[in-house]
Structure formats: structure tokens, C-alpha cells
Structure 1
């Protein structure tokens, strides 16, 4: 069975509604799988020296947003904080920094205004996709 993945990219200017991007030529499922596996391995590092020493919360959140973006899973602010494996206050500071750098945006749920979702900008999505491709290529040639 052929599966197609719909990607929603948030425009840089934030004023247009997100448009789906369908591209059957790119291995989005493989990218999502690689990023998910990498996140799982990052979580296992905590057993070595604890989460505070080897922590990289912003990167963990970006990777989780990347996977959510590909799979069509909405990532709430709360979910992103959990993905960072750091306290919520720390995670929220990183979210603010990533917003200021134009990597993510916040979007209120249209049905429940108490919920807020995070979305990657196209700039961040393309950059992370390129990094995941480099990771996969490097691991396959090793």
C-alpha cells in the first residue's frame, strides 16, 4: 500500500494559512523514523551521566516538532516541554528563544483557545530535514 504524508509548513511571515506540501519524491517517513530513533537514543544517554549534564532541550524539542510535523501530530507546548526532558520553566525559556530566532511559532487551537500548539517554520523544517539526511548518510557510510 502506498502512503502519502502531508506536511504543513508555516510561512515565515506568519500571515498566510499553512499550505500542505506533498512531495512523494522525498523519504519523509524515513526522516521521521531516523529522528525518532535519534531522540530515543538521546534519552538513553541519561543513564550515563544524568539528564542535566548531557541536556540539549531546544534540540530535543525541535526534533520532536520535526517528527510531529511529518506525521501530522500536533505538538502542544506541554508536549514539547515533556520532549525536552527538562523542567517546564526551562523548556518555556527555550521555546521563547526559538520563537525569537524564527524557528517555531505558536498557534492557538481553533476549537479550544486554552490549547497552544507549536509549529516549525519552513526555515527550521528544511534545516532539520537537511541535518537528518546528513545523519542518515553518515551512519550508512560508517
Structure 2
């Protein structure tokens, strides 16, 4: 079997998996809590979590059309959202694009990017064909943490929790072990 045949089969399997996850999202439409009170996302496809991250990133950009950027300075969060969406879309992100997504001057974005790298949330690798380009991605830990955060955000949005702490703990007056999302 050639590499092209393997690539084609892998692509078809990914498409099938995406369809199956979407169908499962529609049928189950629920999240569960681990004993550690961390939201799991086994029942939410990565695409559903990515769509939530993309919406938040777009909402944040739209907000800047009205208010001064200095009122909402979270360059690390903007970079994490951007990289999470790129991960879900299976697209590579150039470091220059990630720094622009931070919405602050390049020197400031570079400092914040270093903080994310030192925290083990992002990694970079040089482009094999152009030494001027670096590709950036979330680490496995970065993907896990963003997935947990987006799952908690989905839960909060769908259940009207007053804050993410209650969403993470599943509280609305009393603890829950699992909660069904509203359709």
C-alpha cells in the first residue's frame, strides 16, 4: 500500500469519525464530571469545542470595534483561542499569525508567547522549506486544558450557570454527577 493510499484512507476515516462524533453530539448532547470536578469532554466532539472557541474569539474581536483594546487585554487567551481553533480545523499556524491574533504590539505578543511556551501550553517548530517561518501549535497539555475550558464554557452557556466555577462543579443549588444539555 502506498503512502498516497494510506493518506486517502486516513482522510476518509477522519471524515467518517467527524460525522459520527457530530451524530453522537446530537444524540447524547451531555457532558460528565470526573471525581476531580474537572469537566470531561468525551461526549462533545473537538469540533463542537472548537466552534465554541471560534465564537469566543470572534466575539472578542467584535467587541474591539466598540471599545478600546486596552480595556480587554488578554493576549495569552487570544493566542490560545486562535491556536485551539487552528488545531480543530487541522491547520498549521505561523508564529507571525499567532502574534497578530494576540492583538498587541509584536514585542508584547512575543513576550506573552514566551510565557505560554514556558508554561508548556504551546510549542514551535521551524518550517523545513523556509527558515524564516516557525509553525506554532498547542501542546497536548494545551489542547487538554483548552478542551476542558471550552467544555465548561459550553456547559455554562447551555445551563445558565452564573459562573464557570459552578459550571465546572455542575452546581445549580446542589452537586450533579452529570447534566444533560438543553437542545
Corresponding residue of 1:46: 64
How far apart, in 1, do the equivalents of 2:79 and 2:63 lie?
A: 16
**Alpha-carbon distance between aligned partners in 1 of 2:106 and 2:63, rounded to the nearest angstrom:** 20
CA distance in 2, matches of 1:140, 1:99: 32
Structure 2 unpaired stretches of 5+:
1-14, 20-41, 161-183
The one-character-per-residue Cα deviations of 1:48-94 (angstroms, maximum 9, x if unpaired) are: 43101211011000011011111111111110011111111111011
The Cα shift of 1:3 comes to 5.7
Moved >4 Å (runs of 4+): none
> Matches of 1:76 and 1:127 in 2, distance apart?
21
Aligned length: 124
From 155, 158, 161, give the equivalent of 1:137: 155
Match of 1:92 among 99, 110, 117: 110
- 1:113 CA displacement: 2.0
TM-score (norm: length of structure 2): 0.63
State yes or no: 1:4 paired with 2:18: yes
Question: What is the SS of the residue equivalent to 2:71?
Answer: coil
Distance 2:123 2:130 in 1: 18
Coordinate RMSD, CA, aligned: 1.9
CA distance in 1, matches of 2:129, 2:17: 28
| Residue in 1 that maps onto 2:122 | 104
Q: Hey, what does 2:140 align to over in structure 1?
A: 122
Indicate the structure with greater helix content.
Answer: 2
Matched, 1:67 2:85: yes
Deviation at 1:25, TM superposition (A): 6.2
Unaligned runs of 5+ in 1: 6-23
- Provide the C-alpha distance between the structure 2 equivalents of 1:136 and 1:4, rounded to a whole number of angstroms: 19
